[in-house]
Chains A and B, each alone.
Chain A
Amino acid sequence: MLRAGRHHSSATEELQIIPPSKLSVEGVSKSFRSASGNVLALDRVSLKVAEGEFVCLVGTSGCGKTTLLNIIAGLEKADSGAVLADGKPVTGPGRERLVMFQEPALFPWLDVFGNVLFGLKLKPNLTNEDRREVAKYYLELVGLSRFEHANIHELSGGMKQRVSLARALAPNPRVLLMDEPFAALDALTREQLYGDIQEIWKARRKTIVFVTHNVREAACLGDRVLLFSPHPGRIQEEFTVNLPRPRDINSVDLAAHATQITKALKSAGKAEAIAPK
Chain B
Amino acid sequence: MKRFLLAAAFFAVLVLLWEAAYRAKIWSPVLLPSPSQVVTYLEGAAADGTLARATVITMRRLLIGYFIGLVVGLPLGLLTARWKLFGDTIGTLALGLQTLPSVCWVPLALLWFGQTEAAMLFVVVMGTLWSVIIATETGVRNVPPIYRRAALTMGSKRLHMWFKVILPAALPFIVSGMKQGWAFAWRSLMAAEIFVTILTGFGLGQLLHYGRELSAMEQVIGIMIVIVVIGLLADKIFFSPIERFLHRRWGTSQA
A-side residues, CB < 8 A to B, are 73-75, 93-95, 97-99, 101, 103-105, 107-111, 118-119, 122-123, 151-154, 171
Contacts and interface: CB of A to CB of B under 8 A. Distances in A.
Interface in B147-168: 147, 149-156, 160, 164-165, 168
A151 B169 contact: no
Contact of B154 (A98, A104, A109, A154): A98
B10 to A, nearest CB: 34
15 contacts: A97-B153, A98-B154, A99-B149, A101-B150, A103-B146, A104-B146, A105-B149, A108-B250, A109-B249, A119-B154, A151-B248, A151-B249, A152-B251, A171-B154, A171-B155
Contact of B160 (A74, A108, A122): A122
Contacts of B144: 103
Given A103-B146, A105-B147, A109-B171, A73 B153 contact: yes
B170 to A, nearest CB: 10
Given A101-B146, A107-B147, A109-B168, A75 B154 contact: no
Interface residues of B, number: 21
Interface in B126-149: 144, 146-147, 149
Contacts of A123: 155
B152 A75 contact: yes
Cβ-closest 6 pairs across A and B = A153-B251, A119-B154, A109-B168, A122-B155, A105-B150, A93-B152
B155 A94 contact: yes
B149 A75 contact: yes
B118 to A, nearest CB: 38
Interface of B: 144, 146-147, 149-156, 160, 164-165, 168-169, 171, 248-251
A75 B152 CA distance: 8
B149 A107 contact: no
Nearest to A123: B155
Given A101-B146, A105-B147, A95 B154 contact: yes
Contacts of B155: 93-95, 119, 122-123, 171
A94 B157 CA distance: 11
B251 A154 contact: yes
Residue of A75, A97, A109, A118 with most partner-chain B CB within 10 A? A109
A106 B151 CA distance: 10
Nearest to A111: B249
A97 B168 CA distance: 25
Contact of A118 (B154, B169, B171, B250): B154
B248 A122 contact: no
A103 B164 CA distance: 20
Nearest to A118: B154
B28 to A, nearest CB: 57
A153 B246 CA distance: 12
B251 A118 contact: no
Contacts of B165: 107
